[in-house]
Amino acid sequence: MTIENLSSNRSFGGWHKQYRHQSESINCEMRFAIYLPPQTALGEKVPALYWLSGLTCTDENFMQKAGAQQFAARLGMALVAPDTSPRGDAVADDEGYDLGQGAGFYVNATEAPWSRHYHMYDYVLDELPKLVESLFPVSGERALAGHSMGGHGALVLALRNPERYRSVSAFSPIANPVNCPWGRKAFTAYLGGDTAGWEEYDASVLMRQATAKVPALVDQGEADDFLAEQLKPEMLEAAAAASDYPLQLRRREGYDHSYYFIASFIDEHLRFHARHLGL
């Protein structure tokens, strides 16, 4: 597979690198970023935390704003951040910020014109880890985290594939997309009108039904403008109670939906994952 290095930056004794490659599952060029901690310079394979970003974001938002590299360097953990959707002139798009490019929702689209490229679920689950683990000193021990739309994606991927991940965490996830405007708009476009099929991508529905369980941590800001209409953490709490799911959901007074919130608690999330990754 051809992979092109776009940038390299020294960071906390390790390296932040950005790459572009041709994706088979997405059917276009995709970009991702990886932080390799200093332990990899000694030939040591390290576990990886895959971070899924939210609406309008790229791979750059988390890597530039969260301040995670310093903690990953201490823990010996790689960070991998894919883009949030396919990109390019040939890729379907929409005028709204919450559909199309920058808004892949981590689903496998079944409806035209989205189904040609929008297979972010397969990309994050299979293609990207295979690529990363074949080219970099990264082991097959994986954790997932994300923010907002990416928090939704992280929870769904972990809930549907508990054997693939040691832990999952999220900031301000879209917890019940079948019952919020963002989710209903995206799922109608990408998955069609059969709402029963939407539930395969709803963390609250999946958590209520879960038997195999991945330790989960969620932080939600109480001053989040999207809290009541779009995020619905109470639905995730109810689902966890119904299935006795190992979910820790913390409500943070005064915090909003921004990366100021993420940067405030990202160290706790990385330490949470480190424990489950055996670091």
Q: Please identify which of the residues 147, 224, 269, 276 carries the catalytic annotation.
A: 224
Tell me which residue of 254, 167, 176 sits closest to 213, measured CA to CA: 167
Task: For residue 148, indicate whether it is catalytic.
Answer: yes
Catalytic residue among 11, 25, 53, 148: 148
Rounded-to-integer distance, Cα 207 and Cα 21, Å: 34
Q: Find the catalytic residue in 117, 119, 147, 257.
A: 257
Instruction: Give the DSSP letter string of 208-221.
Output: HH-SS---EEEEEE
Is 93 among the catalytic positions? Answer: no
Residue 8: active-site member: no
Angle (nearest 5°) at CA 135 between 108 and 126: 20
Q: Give catalytic residue positions.
A: 148, 224, 257
